[in-house]
Amino acid sequence: MIIDELAVYLKPGQRVNLRSEIARLLQKGAEQIEDYRILRRSIDARKKSRVRLLYRIEVSLSGRSGEMGIQPVAPVADPARARISAIRGSRRIGSNPVIVGTGPAGLFAALALCRKGYQPLVLERGEGMARRVEAVGNFWREGRLDPESNVQFGEGGAGTFSDGKLTTRSKHPLVENVFATFYEFGAPEDILYEQKPHLGTEKVRGIVCRIRNRIIEMGGTFLYGSRMERLMLRSGTVAGVQTSKDRIETDAVFLATGHSARETYAMLQDVGVVLEAKAFAVGFRIEHPQALIDRAQYGPFAGHPELGAADYRLTWKNHPGRRGVYSFCNCPGGVVVAAASEAGGVVTNGMSWHGRDTGLSNSAIVVSVSPEDFGSQGPLAGILFQREIERASYEIGGGSYLAPAQRTPDFLSGRSSTGQIRSSYRPGVVPAEIGGLLPVGLSQALKGALDDFKAKIRGFENSVIVAPETRTSAPVRILRDRVTLESVNTPGLYPVGEGSGYAGGIVSSAVDGLKAVLHIAER
């Protein structure tokens, strides 16, 4: 039987005994609850004095003939049932398909291709996991950037150094496949029922490595340190790729490079692939004590063992300019990280471990920008706009990847911060007037939003701003057919994931890679 809603009111310091709560609701003895499985769990903290957990649960009772038993650890999503299927196509691929990039779109596309009998060749400009983690650690400690293997580039993509959020607004049927696959490769079972599931950076890394090993077992090949330098065309159709190491012939390329592959966008424009500039957002990271956010969101239940670190989502609209400001990629119990991928530019991002236990909370506060803000410099204008902000930030730090930082009250008042500014960002921060990094209209919108956010979360101004946040999403869209996901003017090219301009986040990017495999397999 299914219990559609079980509301459990929290008691200070006490864990929830779910079996007892189920028995209470059904007016049964706890021994009569043979088994149960959580289908959904969410937190209702609208009334701070009466925080409750809401469950949807599948239950089997003892002594009921015909009642289907439930396995104790059976997942909500079954990997075997969730695998995509396709009609066997009639058109033969002349050589193994090539996948460019090992982020969620590339990995899920490669795994799906292997399960359909293909043997994909996966190119990654950065290093494998172990060497990539070492390179990133060196950058954070010493400021030595490897432009080929960093927070943006390398095995697992940008999501490897993130909070590992799995929330998505996508309703596509393949979302089930994505969650089932993560569970199959070692994600905790709670991702299958939590309202806001997340993995944490360390679990993302382990899952990525296990997926990679399975792909290799099934006949796939990975080439690290192999940047795609040229898309080879024959009569306008994909014929292969030229990498930094070799030339590879193929008539099917899955382009899953992520949103920071700026050289790739320039190369695609050069060979004639149709691109367009798209809207994205820029701003900064704001960092609070986690306890402040917990108290604001959970009141007297802050720190309760059933709740964990609280998050938030805030939005504000600048009505005269119709420009939106919002919080993005909140990392409860996380740190602000250096995320540059180009020499001479500073970029920030947020990262959390699964336990979210650093005692600090950070989030991007960003303002939307559109092609109208960039001028008429073509499809790559957004990249130039990002780069200007990143390089100006680098100059403030004296060329050492120190990030500009400012106390929030000083930012709102337009005065410089003095003395030492404490932040989790490494290799360190330098006091600066952050408002000057952005065009005046954008800075004014961000200040207006922060004034509004102070009223929504008490103490929100007791924070530190670290800049800039420029890599919120792709500034370019690679135009593709809506059905086949093939480039509109370059047959054989399948742009997928965040870098294509059609996805955002781990789950939607993985779904995008799977969709492309579905269509190519049908053909």
d(CA 198, CA 188): 9
Residues 294 and 440 in one domain: yes
Considering only CA atoms, give the Rg of the chain.
Answer: 24
* Domain annotation covers residue 425: yes
* Domain annotation covers residue 69: no
The answer to whether 301 and 48 are in contact (CB under 8 A) is yes
Pairing of strands 403-407, 429-431: parallel
Q: What is the CATH number of the domain that holds 239?
A: 3.50.50.60
User: pLDDT tens across 131-167, in order?
Assistant: 999 999 999 999 999 999 999 999 999 999 999 999 9
* Domain annotation covers residue 446: yes
d(CA 458, CA 134): 39
User: pLDDT tens across 322-366, in order?
Assistant: 789 999 999 999 999 999 999 999 999 999 999 999 999 999 999
Residues 270 and 383 in one domain: no
Residue 63 has pLDDT above 80, yes or no: no
Residues 303 and 436 in one domain: yes
Q: Which long-range contacts (CB under 8 A, 24 or more apart) does 350-355 make?
A: 350/162, 350/163, 350/285, 351/161, 351/162, 351/163, 351/201, 352/162, 352/163, 352/164, 352/198, 352/200, 352/201, 353/200, 353/201, 353/202, 354/164, 354/188, 354/198, 354/199, 354/200, 354/202, 354/203, 355/200
* Domain annotation covers residue 77: no
Residues 136 and 238 in one domain: yes
* Domain annotation covers residue 68: no
Q: What is the CATH number of the domain that holds 38?
A: 3.30.70.2700
Angle among Cα 221, 226, 232 to the nearest 5 degrees reads: 95
Q: Which domain holds residue 360?
A: 280-469
d(CA 224, CA 515): 25
**Residue 357, token pair as written in the block:** 């236990």
Residues 318 and 447 in one domain: yes
Q: How confident is the model at residue 65 (pLDDT cuts 50, 70, 90)?
A: very low
Q: What is the pLDDT of residue 69?
A: 41
* Domain annotation covers residue 66: no
Residues 22 and 106 in one domain: no
Counted domains in the chain? 3
User: pLDDT tens across 226-254, in order?
Assistant: 999 999 999 999 999 999 999 999 999 99
Residues 49 and 146 in one domain: no
| DSSP calls for 127-185 | --HHHHHHHHHHHHHH----TTSSSSSSTT-GGGGS--B-------THHHHHHHHHHHT
Question: Which single residue is written with the structure tokens 């370019």?
Answer: 476
Identity of the amino acid at 206: G
Residue 27 has pLDDT above 70, yes or no: yes
* Domain annotation covers residue 67: no
Residues 443 and 427 in one domain: yes
CA 458 to chain centre: 28
Residues 245 and 209 in one domain: yes
d(CA 40, CA 195): 7
CA distances from 505 to 73, 91, 204 (A): 28, 32, 13
Point out the domain boundary residue: 46, 61, 76: 61
Residue 67 has pLDDT above 60, yes or no: no
The answer to whether 437 and 404 are in contact (CB under 8 A) is yes
Question: Which single residue is written with the structure tokens 């299958």?
Answer: 192
Which helix (H) or strand (E) covers residue 232, if one does? strand 228-234
d(CA 453, CA 293): 12
Q: What is the pLDDT of residue 398?
A: 86
Reduced to 3 states (helix: H, G, I; strand: E, B; else coil), residue 408 is helix
d(CA 200, CA 34): 33
* Domain annotation covers residue 485: yes
Q: Which residues contact 85 (CB under 8 A, 6 or more apart)?
A: none
Residues 237 and 339 in one domain: no
Q: What is the pLDDT of residue 68?
A: 41
| DSSP calls for 349-399 | EEEE-TT--SSEEEEEEEEEE-HHHH-S--TTHHHHHHHHHHHHHHHHTTS
Residues 99 and 231 in one domain: yes
- Provide the b/e sequence for 8-24 (b: ≥16 CB within 10 Å): bebeeeeeeebeebbbe
Residues 316 and 417 in one domain: yes
pTM assigned to the model: 0.93
d(CA 259, CA 499): 4
**Residue 511, token pair as written in the block:** 């779904």
For residues 96-100, average pLDDT: 96
CA distances from 436 to 164, 324, 365, 415, 429 (A): 32, 19, 16, 11, 16
Reduced to 3 states (helix: H, G, I; strand: E, B; else coil), residue 430 is strand
Residue 321 has pLDDT above 70, yes or no: no
